[in-house]
A and B are shown apart, each in its own frame.
Chain A
Amino acid sequence: MRLFWHELRAEQRLFWRNREAAFFTFFLPVIFFLIFGSIYGNTQMSHHQGRAAPFLEAGMIGYGVAATCFAGLGITLVVRRESGVLKRIRATPLPAATYLLAVLASTFVVFVIEALIIIAIGRILFSVAIPHGVFSLAVTLVLGALAFAAMGVGITSAVRSSEGSSAVINAVYLPMAIISGTFFTPKSYPEFLRVIAEALPLTHFTQLTRDVMVHHQHFWSDWGAISVVLLWGAIGLIAAVRGFRWQPQEG
C-alpha cells in the first residue's frame, strides 16, 4: 500500500510535468468545451430537447475519457516501454501489479479532475444544471474509465515504436471522438457514419453520460449501451493480457 501511494504521487508529478501530454489529454477537452459551448451552447435542439450546452457537456466528458484513459494512457505506456523505463522498473522490487495499478489510478485522478472542471464550466459559463444523479454519474464514469483504460493498455501491443505511438493512437481516437458524436449529436449524421458510430464504444459511453446527465436517468436504464462499452472493454483487456510487453522492441 505504501508503494502504491509512493508510485501514485510520482505518476501525478510525471503527468503534470509533461506539458504536451497534459495539454492534449487534459486541457483539450476543456478548451473544446469552452469553444463549442460559446458557439452553439444556446442553440435550441430539434424535437424540443432544449439547449445544446448540456448535450455538449456530457459529450466532452465522453471525449475526456477517450483522451485521458485511452490515448493518454496508451501513449505513455508505449513511450515508457520503448525508452526502457518499463524494463528498468521490472528490475526493482516494485511489484508489476502495484506499478500498473498506480498508473491506472493516476489516469483516473486526471480524468475525474477533468470531468469536475467540465461540470463546473458548464454550470458557471453555460448555465447547465449540476447533474443530480451523482451515484449514477460516478458509476458511469468508472465504467467508462475502466473500459477505455483496458483499450488503452490493449492498443500498446499494436504500436511498435514510441515515435509512432501518438500518430497511431491519435489516428484511432480523434475520428472516433467525432464520429461518436461527442461534439454534435450523431442523429444528424449520414447513414454510413451512423452505422460506424453504432459500433464504437464512445458512442455508447456518450449516450450513457447523456442519459444520466441530461435525461436524469439511472445508469442501468440502458443495458444495450452498457453492454457495448463492456464488450469493448473486454476486448481491450484480452489484448492487454495477451500482448502487453515490458521490454522494448528488439533492435
Chain B
Amino acid sequence: MSVVSVNGLRKSYGNVEALRGIDFQIEPGEVFGLLGPNGAGKTTTIEILEGYRKRDGGEIEVLGADPERSTGALRERIGIVLQSSSLYPNLTARESLALFAGYYTEPRDVDEVVEIVGLGEKAGSRVRTLSGGQKRRLDLGLALVGNPELIFLDEPTTGFDPGARRAAWETIRNLRSLGTTVLLTTHYLDEAEQLADRVAVLRDGQIVRVGSPAELTGGSSETEIRYRRDGEEIVEQTANPTQRLNELTGEALARGEELEGLEVRRPTLEEVYLELTGE
C-alpha cells in the first residue's frame, strides 16, 4: 500500500489555478522528489499533504488518512521540515530536540538524532549561534525525533553553500537507511538526481513527467556521439548508439585510425528538465 497517494489534486488561489489535477503515489521506503521551478505548485502540494492547506478537489491519502480530517494520530507518524527555519533561538539544539521529543509517544533517542543530523559538537549551543546550515540540520532533527514513518522536506537546502548542501544530502541519505519514506521538494536538479528514487517534474500546476532520474533521462531517444576527424569536430545524434558506434569504430579500425576525442553521452537530467519545464 502506498504511503502517500494523490489523485486529481486541485487547488486555486482566487483566479490562479495553482494545481490543475495532479496524481502520484509514494511507496514505502522511497525518496520521492517534487521538482520544478518556483511557482510550479511544489509548496502548495506539500502543505496540502501536511494538513496546512485545504484542497479544492481530488483525493489524497497520507499513511491511510486524510490530512484535512485526522490530526493527532497522523501527526505522531509524520515529520515536517518547513521551507523556512522555525526554532526557539534561546534553546540549545539538544534542548530543542528534547522539547519536541516530549510531544511524541514513542520518540527517538535525542542523542541518536544529534548523531544522525551531525550536530555533535553544536548540540549544547544556543540555536541563535548556529549557522544557517546547522539550523536546517536541527530542523531535520526535529522532524526525525518523533520517529516518523514519513518525512516532508520542503526545499531542505535552498540558500546553502556547496559544503553545507553535501552535508545535508548525506543526512537525507541516512534517512533512507533508517527506512523512512521521504517526500522532498526542490528546484535543484542535482539534488533530485542525488537523492530521489523517483522524481515528478511539476510545471504550472501539472506533473509533466514521473520516473527515476535514469528513466527521465532515458526517455529521450537521442544519444550524442562526438569525435574528431582530420581536426574537425563531428557531432552525431543517434537513436541506435550501439550499432552506430560499432560501425564507426569498425571503420576506424579497418583504416588503422584512432577516433580522436571520442565521446558518447546521454542527455543530462538538466537538459530533460529544461525541455520539460520550457525554460
The residues of A with any CB-CB pair to B shorter than 8 Å are 3, 6-7, 10, 13-14, 17-18, 83-85, 87-88, 90-95, 247
Contacts and interface: CB of A to CB of B under 8 A. Distances in A.
B249 interface: no
B106 to A, nearest CB: 11
Given A84-B82, A93-B103, 8 more contacts: A6-B102, A7-B102, A10-B91, A13-B91, A84-B84, A88-B87, A91-B50, A93-B146
B15 interface: no
Contacts of A18: 90
B253 interface: no
Nearest to B143: A91
* Chain A interface mostly: helix
Contacts of A87: 52, 82, 86
23 contacts: A6-B103, A7-B102, A10-B99, A14-B90, A17-B91, A83-B86, A84-B82, A84-B86, A87-B52, A87-B82, A87-B86, A88-B87, A88-B142, A91-B52, A91-B78, A91-B80, A91-B82, A92-B103, A92-B104, A93-B104, A93-B105, A93-B146, A94-B103
B108 interface: no
Contacts of A92: 75, 100, 103-104, 146
A129 B103 CA distance: 45
A92 B80 CA distance: 9
A87 B102 CA distance: 18
Contacts of A93: 72, 75-76, 103-105, 146
Contacts of A7: 102
B88 interface: yes
A251 to B, nearest CB: 9
Nearest to A21: B90
A6 B107 CA distance: 14
A57 to B, nearest CB: 32
A85 B84 CA distance: 10
Contacts of B90: 14, 17-18
A226 to B, nearest CB: 37
A17 B91 CA distance: 8
Contacts of B88: 14, 85
